[in-house]
Amino acid sequence: MNLVRTCTKFSSLLLVCAAPYALATTVNMTLTGPPPGPSMGGVYTSPYTATINGVSTYVICDDFLTDVSAGLSWVATETSVADLQNETTPSTAVKFDHTTTAAQQKQDYVAAAYLAEELMNVDQSTQAGQTIAGELSFAIWGVFDPPAISSTYLTPSELTAASNYKSQAYTATAGQSPINYANVEIFTPTPNQNTSQEYLVVTAPEAPLPLVLAVDLSGFALFVLLLGKRMLRRA
């Protein structure tokens, strides 16, 4: 029987969360998936479906150490990956890396966020896509539980791919600030962090303010230009 650790088949989506959530908010969550779907090594692969304050949402499990079942409800604390930026000691708001350094905790969650974004861009409507998503799922689990990437669950080729994805994530994010992943939210069960798994939710990033202003100003300039042409025609 497949263990419920991540979720079922979905097509490529970058916008994973149906609605934005306030910073550092306590929310009610219910795991609604997966039904039988893509798995690897007897383990369901991401994303799952869950409701967050009643809103259906795709969630990615970063927690290989806790087993849960569909229908489970719990309270979670929402933390943006960007919230870890100014931590000088490991944050206890999130589930992992409490006994390491703040720098290591930031590095690990940034790598997991990077992999979560990669996973949500995979088209799982094909068998090849499901395989890649499974390997990325194990790469995410391997961030906080390295033994998850093992021959116990994976074939040699899957093992190599998952290990490579994890290594690539740390290489790609080396020196990056958690602020670069403000669009990735962490939902940590509370008060007992072993009540449920911890999940990541990737939301569509907002456009930077200068870009928004540039678009607004270009629109205003076009309006002025068209208005000027109309006035000239009337003259």
Residue 216 pLDDT exceeds 50: no
Mean pLDDT calculated for residue range 124-138: 96
At residue 36, the pLDDT reads 64
Pair 82, 186 in one domain: yes
Residue 223 pLDDT exceeds 60: no
CA distances in angstroms from 216 to 131, 166, 212, listed in the order given: 42, 40, 6
Pair 125, 110 in one domain: yes
Number of domains in the chain: 2
Q: Which candidate, 26, 44, 9, 11, places its Cα nearest to that of 187?
A: 26
Q: Find the domain containing 185 and state its range.
A: 26-204
C-alpha–C-alpha distance, residues 12 and 27, integer Å: 26
Residue 90 pLDDT exceeds 50: yes
Pair 120, 214 in one domain: no
> Band of the pLDDT at 205, cuts 50, 70, 90?
low
Mean pLDDT calculated for residue range 72-97: 96
Pair 148, 82 in one domain: yes
Pair 138, 168 in one domain: yes
Residue 7 pLDDT exceeds 50: no
Compute the mean pLDDT over every residue in the chain, rounded to the nearest whole number: 82
Looking at the domain assignment, is residue 44 inside a domain? yes
Helices (H), the chain: 102-120, 127-144, 156-173, 209-234
User: At 49, phi and psi to the nearest 5?
Assistant: -115, 145
Mean pLDDT calculated for residue range 59-74: 92
- Looking at mean pLDDT, say which of 1-10, 27-36, 212-221 comes out highest: 27-36
99 alpha carbon, distance to own chain's centre: 23
Looking at the domain assignment, is residue 4 inside a domain? no
> Band of the pLDDT at 4, cuts 50, 70, 90?
very low
> Band of the pLDDT at 194, cuts 50, 70, 90?
confident
Pair 94, 165 in one domain: yes
The pTM for the full model equals 0.79
Mean pLDDT calculated for residue range 23-32: 86
Pair 166, 110 in one domain: yes
Looking at the domain assignment, is residue 33 inside a domain? yes
> Band of the pLDDT at 21, cuts 50, 70, 90?
very low
At residue 35, the pLDDT reads 64
